[in-house]
Amino acid sequence: MEPEADYYYDRLGIESNATKKKIKKSGKLAFKRYAEKDRDLFLRVRQARETLEENHLRDTYDTFCNALGSERGTQAFELWEAQGSQQNKIEHVIEKTKEEPEDAESPEVSNTSLWEKIEIDDPKIEWSNRDFPESIHVSLWEKMGKRLYLNNFDPKHDVYLDLDTGTFYTNTYDSVPDLNYRIIRDGKKLFINGDAGELKIDLLGESTKEKRLSDVLNIKNPEVSWISSGNKDFVNVEHWKKHGKNRLYINNFNGYESIYLDLYSGTFKINDGPILSNTYYEIEKSGQILHFDFEGKKIKIKLQGQRQKEKERKKQKQKQRQKEKERKKQKQKQRQKEKERKKQKQPPIPAGKPSSRWRNVIALASVGWVLVFIEFLVMPEWLRYLTLVTIWLGLPPAIYLDMRTLADYTEWPRFGWLYIVSSLVWLVGFTGPIYLWRRRSALRSQ
C-alpha cells in the first residue's frame, strides 16, 4: 500500500484485476492505519477505493490510464470528475490531455470540501417526511475527520456524512449510494433524501419551525368534563398515535360516530373524510384543557383525566394488596418450614418419666396456700406469716425449675411466663393447682 502513489491500484496495494472484496478489504486496512495518524493519506486511499468499487467509475479510470498511462491517466480522470463526470466528454478529455506536453503543469482541480462550503455549529432537524423527529438526532463528530451523524435515520444501521468528501457511510465503513444531499440557504441548511426518508437539517440550530398542536397539548388519559347538550358519559374521547399519525378521537358526539382532531395539522375530520370547516377549538391552562365548538354544540375535554387516574390508582392499590397477601403467605410458609426444621433438629425424647421433685414442691406450696388462706390451721401469728412468705416466694421458682425439667419431654407450656407471673400474685394462688393439672395432661398426650 502506497498512499502517496498516483496510480489508484498502487495506493491500495492491489493488482489491476483485483476483486471488489480485495478492494474493500484494502480500504478498511487503510482506515485502521491512517484515519487517526495521517488524514491526508487516508483521504487519498479512500478516493482510490471509492472509484474502484464502482464498476462504471473503474471502467472509466482504466480507460484513462490505458490511453494516457497511470500518472497522466489519473490526472485526466480527476479532471473529468471535477467537470461533472459526463460520459460524452471522456474522449474529449483524453484528446486534450494528449495534445499537452508531458512536462506541462496539470490543471488545478478544485479540492474544496463540503466542510468549507457549510456553516455548522449545533445541527438540529427542522423537517422530515416521516414521523421520527423524536427518535432521530443529528450530531457533529470531529475526532477522525469531520462527520455529521444521522442516528436512527436508517433502521438497519447508523449513517454519517463525511464532511471532507461529501460521501455517506455506515459505521462499518460501507458507502451508502442511495443517499444524496443538497446545500441550501448559503450553507446554513442541508437537505438529505434517500430510500430511508427525507430530512431538512438546520446546521446552526436556529430553526424557527412552527410548533405542531401535538407539541403544545399535554395529553394523557383524556376525558369529557362538560358538554353543552347530551350525556357526557356517553361521549368517549381517546388518544390514538400509530403509523405516523397522531389523533384525538371524539366518539358519539353530535350524532357522529367518530370525529377526530389531527394533532399534526390541527384540522378536524370525520373518518378520514374531508376537513370540517365549521369546527373550532381553544386551548386553556397550558395545553391541559381543550374546548371544541362543532356546529354550535360545545364540549370541554380534560386532556389529563382524573377518572382514569383514579382507576389506575385503584389498580395500583389492588396490586399492592395482592403483593402484601402474597408476602404474608410466604412468611407463613417460611415459619412453617422453620418449625419443621426445628422439629427435625430436636433431640429424641428421653425414655422414662420426668423428675417429680419440683412437682411435689408445687403441690406442697399449693396445699399450704389453701390452708393459710382459709386459716384452717391454728398456729401462732408469726408462724402463720412465715409460712405465707415461704409459700409466696417458693412457688414461682418451683414452677420455673419444673418447666425446665419438662423441656426435654414436651413443648408445653408455650407461655410459661404467665404461670410464673400469676403465681407472684397472692390472690391468684390457685395457679399451682392449674399448672399441675395442665402438666399432667401434657405428659399424657406425649
Task: Give the DSSP letter string of 243-310.
Answer: TTEEEEEEEEETTEEEEEEETTT--EESTT-SBPSSEEEEEETTTTEEEEEETTEEEEEESB-HHHHH
DSSP-assigned letters across all residues of 351-371: SS----HHHHHHHHHHHHHHH
Q: Which residue do the cell numbers 474522449 mark?
A: 91
* DSSP character at residue 205: S
Q: Are the CB atoms for 158 and 149 separated by under 8 Å?
A: yes
Spatial separation of the C-alpha atoms in residues 68 and 79, rounded to whole Å: 13
Spatial separation of the C-alpha atoms in residues 157 and 179, rounded to whole Å: 13
Q: Which residue do the cell numbers 474544496 mark?
A: 112
The superfamily CATH assigns to domain 8-99 is DnaJ domain (1.10.287.110)
Q: Which helix (H) or strand (E) holds 342?
A: helix 306-345
Sequence-distant contacts of 241-247: CB under 8 A, at least 24 apart: 244/130, 244/131, 245/131, 246/131, 246/214
Spatial separation of the C-alpha atoms in residues 443 and 191, rounded to whole Å: 96
- Number of Cβ within a 10 Å radius of residue 37: 9
236 φψ region: left (φ > 0), alpha (ψ -120 to 50), beta (else): beta
Show the cell assigned to 319: 396490586
Spatial separation of the C-alpha atoms in residues 434 and 68, rounded to whole Å: 125
Show the cell assigned to 396: 414461682
Q: Which helix (H) or strand (E) holds 161?
A: strand 159-162
Spatial separation of the C-alpha atoms in residues 276 and 138, rounded to whole Å: 37
Q: Which residue do the cell numbers 408445653 mark?
A: 412
Enumerate residues 6+ apart whose C-beta is below 8 A from 252.
234, 235, 236, 258
Q: Are the CB atoms for 291 and 300 separated by under 8 Å?
A: yes
Task: List 67's β-bridge partners, or say none.
Answer: none
Q: Are the CB atoms for 151 and 160 separated by under 8 Å?
A: no
Q: Are the CB atoms for 420 and 395 separated by under 8 Å?
A: no
Task: List 137's β-bridge partners, or say none.
Answer: 151
Spatial separation of the C-alpha atoms in residues 59 and 76, rounded to whole Å: 14
Instruction: Tell me how far CA of residue 166 lies from CA of 177, 345, 346, in angstroms.
Output: 12, 80, 83
Enumerate residues 6+ apart whose C-beta is below 8 A from 302.
222, 223, 224, 225, 288, 289
- Show pLDDT as tens, one digit a residue, over the chain (446 residues): 777 888 888 888 888 888 888 888 887 787 777 766 777 777 788 888 888 888 888 899 999 899 888 888 888 888 877 766 677 778 888 888 887 766 555 444 445 567 677 778 778 877 676 655 455 678 777 765 678 888 777 767 778 888 877 788 887 667 777 787 878 767 778 878 777 677 778 887 754 344 567 777 778 778 777 777 776 667 878 888 876 678 888 887 777 767 888 887 677 777 766 666 667 677 776 667 877 777 777 888 887 766 656 777 788 889 999 999 999 999 998 888 888 877 776 566 566 678 888 888 888 887 777 776 666 556 677 777 777 777 777 788 888 888 888 887 777 887 888 888 887 776 656 777 888 888 888 887 76
Show the cell assigned to 172: 462499518
272 φψ region: left (φ > 0), alpha (ψ -120 to 50), beta (else): left
Query: For residue 392, which of 412, 368, 413, 410 has the smallest C-alpha distance?
Result: 368
Residue 272 has a pLDDT of 63
- Cα 306 to chain centroid distance, Å, stands at 27
Instruction: Tell me how far CA of residue 194 lies from CA of 158, 159, 163, 328, in angstroms.
Output: 14, 12, 18, 60
Q: Are the CB atoms for 94 and 67 separated by under 8 Å?
A: yes
Q: Which helix (H) or strand (E) holds 439?
A: helix 431-445
Residue 112 has a pLDDT of 59
Residue 347 has a pLDDT of 60
Q: Are the CB atoms for 257 and 251 separated by under 8 Å?
A: yes
Show the cell assigned to 164: 471532507
Number of residues written out for the chain: 446
Residue 108 has a pLDDT of 46
In three-state secondary structure terms, 369 is helix
